[in-house]
Structure 1
């Protein structure tokens, strides 16, 4: 007992002793060896088991599509169209090109570093510990806030569905977020709770539920495109860009959070069979499916309704169908599809955030609480509860536009870091086996970084302020806790 007490005191002195500047700098830039990602720790007992490999290519692709097609087209279209007019179609193309450039970079790193934690793990292997921690903070912001933004939109379509089927709508005070006539968004809290139940059952069950919902949402969107194109009017595209280039860039920046699914695929790195093959393929396939769906729906919606009618339009796609057909059943189907779609997006985004926390905790940068894995379901149960409670609180009381812009900021920062990571890892470890290589290297990764910076510049000033506060808080946690408890510490 005495020896153990002496050891504890020694560890405490080491953890609290001031570090010389040279030692501090070395700790900030230390990188996790890539070889460590190929030898997952088993842990002692049942609380720190590795995650089970249960995803194939189809499930992984559906994970990416499920995390991407949702609020970006079902809800955010009504906020993006007023910013750019019919030229919002160009905004989707710009966001899609940026996402495509980054997706190829993700594909290379995912095939080289097949780990949970996505860009956080890639940054730890290439940019160093402090950069990785801050990227992890961006990812937590990206996932937590995007899940909240997605959950906010669920209530709109749920209310539309209630109105169409039973003639009753929830009071605005309980169905809308603050800033949109509400006090607390109760449907958003309910949605997060339902997703938590599915997540706690296990990764395989979550992936199966998501795949079913993704097929349903694609079918509903195909129905919308078919009906809307039958009522297409080219006159609705004049004037094409009433807000000019500034409006196109602003809309592209706002809707970029719609492409979060690219990152979500790579968070499953340790739960994928044959990750070197399946991770890059799933990233590219999901991006192709998503971009095609976004552009088709945007063109069809704008052709069916003047762009000036989108502002303030809740459950916009369902309302368009009802107005076009004069019947309730198409709007009912679309509202059902939107309810299922937004459920699947929330499910995948919550999943991704729990895996990022798991990876950061396993590296010692966050408390061990976040890496404890259930011995039966092999999911981080406590971690999932914390994530769900935080997301539910944000979704209940924070306005949607604030959530959307914060999510775009976190996503763009993480995407830029991945593109930089490709360049650094090519230079430092050209010998590493890569299941996929970015074409036109280094031009393509540089273009990816430039596109991300362009979209970041289009975000409003208050987003930069809130993001700065978030990064400041992350630095306090890193220097106050993580730097001395890192698994790479001497």
Structure 2
């Protein structure tokens, strides 16, 4: 029987998450984890166009500013917990220590939905954009499904091997790929801005407002999806060298860096696409289509490569976070215990990585073979991921003041911050649900069914295996070896 984490000794003989490498990652790889999970360069080339189509250039700019504020509020709620807990399970473990295990398990499921489906979207994007290079360079007339599937499988195999090999290698590759991607996409955006300025594109018309208050709320939700994943570095708290310093800093500055990129990319795209043909604006890859329509096939191929690189890094980072949540659940006994094992040599949660990558690869391939187009698949998986992330953010914001109260560090400011952020998130969620019902979208229902199953599973655990539920909430505790090497502590 697993000992409840709420009844442990002040100093543990060994960490409950023993097996993962402790206190090794410096600040930069931890920062790379969150940045890659957000995939700012890939998101900057895809998501602003979706919001521009709904709210216009001016409305999209306002939506992204509001989304950045919302995410910064969420970040402010999570930071106090990150400063006090080296949590391998991230928000899942924070919720366990704040709201309790009964609320934590559904929160964990919500986080799993978020990380898994964004990983699926990432792999699908890699397959789509790399395959599309043959089209943009004139080597092929279309992108066959078989080519996308083949590239997706190869990318999945490479990602799996990198993650099993170790978090250090994974973090370095993630950092390198994302830096190259940001450089490529950023350079192309600057070039696009210079080109559109010279051609006298209508700036005022491009920055117009469209839609109503409800569509604006939905636009903010879509814009929020461009920031999700910023908190994923919390799952590396046990492996970070200085977790109580580096992780809070990362979850503070990652949204700021992403917002800066988006607020530059969005006006450029709004102006560039203002006079573009309908075929370009309605394309699954509008920026690429715009470059192709202007005869810049080489630049469009570079943009394809940059976006694919960003989403590959996103897949690595998202699945790295996913497997640590599953690893945590496996150790606690609320998921198969095999998921709580680590590779004897590489000290990575190899069983969880293998199981996760099978699912993350199989689902998008099955969708493609079932006739779902790549752009439809991306929308489906990104929408589900936004649902999963926002659900876990709600739980995290509710947990923060309660957790701090339990350890005697609560303040009125924390309660106000948690309450305001929760109300804002609920407002956005309700508006998105109302719009989804009116528009006939079933993805919200899919997420609701998953969460209903999570609640039923939690109730079953509470009745049939209460000792397992009581063990939820493990984290990397202080060990005797962490203390000063004096006789008094031996």
TM-score normalised by L of structure 2: 0.83
CA, structure 1 residues 196+487, in 2 after alignment: closer, same or farther (shift >3 Å)?
Answer: same
Residues 61 and 266, structure 2, Cα contact 8 Å, conserved in 1 = yes
Residue 229 of structure 1, CA deviation: 1.6
Structure 2 unaligned regions, length at least 5:
368-376, 473-490
Alignment of 1:36-435 (within 5 A): 39=12, 41-42=14-15, 49-68=19-38, 69=40, 71-86=42-57, 87-165=59-137, 167-168=139-140, 171-174=143-146, 185-230=149-194, 231-232=196-197, 233-235=201-203, 237-238=205-206, 240-306=208-274, 309=278, 311-323=281-293, 326-398=295-367, 399-431=377-409
Q: Distance in 1 between matches of 2:266 and 2:138?
A: 29
In structure 1, distance between residues paired with 2:123 and 2:87: 28
Q: For 1:189-246, what per-residue CA distance to the aligned partner results, in whole angstroms no more than 9, with x for missing partners?
A: 4332321121111100000001101211221122122112211434464572222332
- Does the C-alpha gap of structure 1 residues 217 and 333 become closer, same or farther in structure 2, counting only changes over 3 Å? same
1:445 aligns with 2:418: yes
SS of residue paired to 2:83 = helix
Alignment partners' CA distance in 1, 2:431 and 2:328:
31
Q: Alpha-carbon deviation of 1:42?
A: 5.0
Q: Distance in 1 between matches of 2:152 and 2:52?
A: 24
Query: Relative contact order, CA 8 A, sep 6+: which one is greater?
Result: 2
CA distance in 2, matches of 1:484, 1:386: 26
Q: Cα gap change, 1:486/1:251 in structure 2, threshold over 3 Å: closer, same or farther?
A: same
CA 212–245 in structure 1, closer or farther in 2 if over 3 Å, else same:
same
Q: Tell me, yes or no, if the aligned pair for 1:142 and 1:407 is still in contact at 8 Å.
A: yes
Residue pair 2:23, 2:242 contacting (<8 A) in 1 also: no
Select between 60-69 and 398-407 the one with higher mean Cα deviation.
398-407
The answer on whether the counterparts of 1:120 and 1:135 sit within 8 Å (CA) in structure 2 is: yes
Contact 1:228 1:300 in 2 (8 A): yes
- 1:253-300 C-alpha deviation (Å, 9 max, x unpaired): 134232222221111111111111111111112111111111211111
Q: CA deviation at 1:451?
A: 2.0
Is this contact kept in 2: 1:57–1:281, CA < 8 A? no
**Superposition RMSD on alpha carbons, in Å?**
2.9
The answer on whether the counterparts of 1:40 and 1:50 sit within 8 Å (CA) in structure 2 is: no
**What displacement does 1:48 show?**
5.8
